[in-house]
């Protein structure tokens, strides 16, 4: 019997629209029944018809005519005249990019209400959503990263040499990102980044750096994608990444030697570790002077990086069998009973 998948998308985030694009793209990729669950700007949930889903449905507000859903213990429920009906699916795929989806908010809710889902758990989301925490995590597991410094809103001096790249600390999709080549460009670039976050990351901008992407998950054993070498200019701006999130066509593997490919995949596995169990992630690496450096972790990559796999549906089905289970904690009130007995009550 075919697995049924629910796709959760939208959320309160600067990347809300990108999430919509990713969700729609997956319609042409997955060979299994799909239920679409949209989280709007008010954090209300709606059941969206797979046949009717288009970007205009959301920009026009017409989605509000769709059935409302309630998240509670066991899953999502739709009200009917006499009773509530539980939405039927085997697993939920978290495709909420940015805030809500990648920062641990929805992961906590789904875990709390015992909903089986593919996506980063709370701690994985917290560590990968914040670019500083990502650097510290990489350092703790022996994976090298690009040099960096963090500025708080109101600071306009840096210690790194130009050119540098400025990034909001808690944001993806190249929103608020600028390349700064001289001191005269710094203040404006920082003001742009501070519009999106109170803290920004400053890194050296490495001209012509070799970049490689690897996606994958652990389903008993690791399932890894091909290694991709993105073809891009200086960096992918928002508009180019927006289009990138609708990708469904398989890309070509990077033309690299077996040694580099093996080491990129080994580094990916180190980053994934136990922290990202239950998620399908993509890691973006730089290679500088033969050294592999972690650039960033994409805990919910655009279009779920489906284009890097031969059979993406089979990857999700395999992963759905290895989702983390919460430890059962016995609550038997022995402590309270012992106090009551001691008091003779």
pLDDT of residue 85: 94
pLDDT of residue 229: 94
Distance CA 249, CA 324 (A): 30
pLDDT of residue 174: 76
Cα torsion angle, 147, 152, 158, 164, sign = positive
pLDDT of residue 264: 98
Structure tokens at 337: 């009973």
Q: What is the mean pLDDT of the chain?
A: 92
| pLDDT over threshold 70, residue 242 | no
Distance CA 84, CA 81 (A): 8
pLDDT of residue 163: 96
pLDDT of residue 168: 94
Only one residue has tokens 């069998």, namely 321
% of the chain with per-residue pLDDT over 70: 94
Distance CA 336, CA 175 (A): 53
pLDDT digits (tens, 9 = 90+) for 133-188: 999 999 999 999 999 999 999 999 999 999 999 999 998 767 889 999 999 999 99
Only one residue has tokens 């994976």, namely 143
Ranking 18-27, 142-151, 154-163, 243-252 by mean pLDDT, the lowest is 243-252
| pLDDT over threshold 90, residue 234 | no
Confidence of residue 326 (pLDDT cuts 50, 70, 90): confident
pLDDT of residue 78: 96
Reference 55, options 242, 238, 237; nearest CA is 242
pLDDT digits (tens, 9 = 90+) for 191-206: 999 999 999 999 999 9
Q: Which three-class secondary structure string do you get for the chain?
A: CCCCEEEEEECCCCCHHHHHHHHHHHCCCCCCCEEEEEECCCCCEEEECCCCCCHHHHHCCHHHHCCEEEEECCEEEEECCCCEEECCCCEEEECCCCCCCCCCHHHHHHHHCCCCEECCCHHHHHHHHCHHHHHHHHHHCCCCECCCEEEECCCCCCCCCCCEEEEECCCCCCCCCEEECCHHHHHHHHHHHHCCCCEEEEEECCCCCEEEEEEEEEECEEEECCCECCCCCCCCCHHHHHHHCCCCCCCCCCCCCHHHHHHHHHHHHHHHCCCCCCCCEEEEEEEECCEEEEEEEECCCHHHHHHHCCCHHHHHHHHHCCCCCCCCCCCCCHHHHHHHHHCCC
pLDDT digits (tens, 9 = 90+) for 36-72: 999 999 999 999 999 999 999 999 999 999 999 999 9
| pLDDT over threshold 80, residue 246 | no
| pTM (global) more than 0.75 | yes
Ranking 47-51, 149-153, 233-237, 314-318 by mean pLDDT, the lowest is 233-237
pLDDT digits (tens, 9 = 90+) for 272-296: 999 999 999 999 999 999 999 999 9
238 versus 264: which is more confidently predicted? 264
- Please state the rounded mean pLDDT for residues 107-115: 97
Confidence of residue 208 (pLDDT cuts 50, 70, 90): confident
């Amino acid at each position: 019997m075919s697995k049924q998948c629910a796709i959760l998308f939208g959320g309160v985030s600067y990347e809300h629209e990108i999430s919509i694009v990713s969700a729609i793209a997956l319609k042409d990729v997955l060979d299994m029944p799909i239920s679409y669950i949209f989280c709007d700007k008010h954090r209300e949930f709606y059941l969206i018809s797979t046949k009717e889903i288009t970007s205009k449905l959301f920009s026009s507000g017409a989605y509000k005519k769709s059935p409302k859903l309630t998240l509670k213990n066991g899953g999502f429920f739709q009200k009917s005249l006499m009773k509530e009906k539980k939405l039927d699916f085997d697993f939920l795929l978290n495709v909420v990019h940015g805030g809500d989806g990648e920062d641990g908010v929805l992961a906590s809710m789904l875990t709390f209400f015992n909903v089986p889902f593919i996506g980063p758990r709370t701690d994985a989301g917290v560590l990968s959503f914040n670019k500083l925490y990502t650097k510290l995590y990489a350092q703790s597991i022996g994976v090298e990263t690009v040099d960096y410094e963090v500025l708080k809103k109101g600071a306009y001096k840096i210690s790194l040499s130009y050119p540098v790249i400025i990034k909001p600390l808690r944001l993806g999709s190249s929103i608020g990102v600028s390349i700064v080549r001289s001191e005269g460009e710094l203040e404006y670039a920082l003001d742009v980044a501070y519009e999106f976050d109170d803290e920004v990351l400053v890194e050296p901008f490495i001209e012509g750096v070799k970049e490689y992407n690897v996606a994958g998950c652990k389903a008993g054993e690791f399932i890894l994608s091909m290694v991709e070498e993105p073809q891009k200019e200086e960096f992918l701006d928002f508009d180019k990444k927006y289009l990138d999130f609708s990708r469904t066509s398989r890309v070509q593997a990077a033309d690299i030697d077996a040694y580099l490919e093996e080491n990129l995949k080994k580094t990916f596995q180190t980053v994934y570790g136990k922290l990202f169990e239950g998620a399908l992630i993509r890691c973006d690496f730089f290679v500088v002077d033969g050294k592999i450096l972690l650039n960033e972790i994409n805990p919910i990559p655009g279009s779920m990086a489906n284009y890097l796999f031969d059979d993406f549906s089979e990857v999700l089905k395999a992963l759905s069998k290895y989702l983390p289970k919460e430890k059962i904690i016995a609550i038997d009130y022995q402590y309270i009973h012992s106090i009551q007995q001691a008091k003779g009550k």
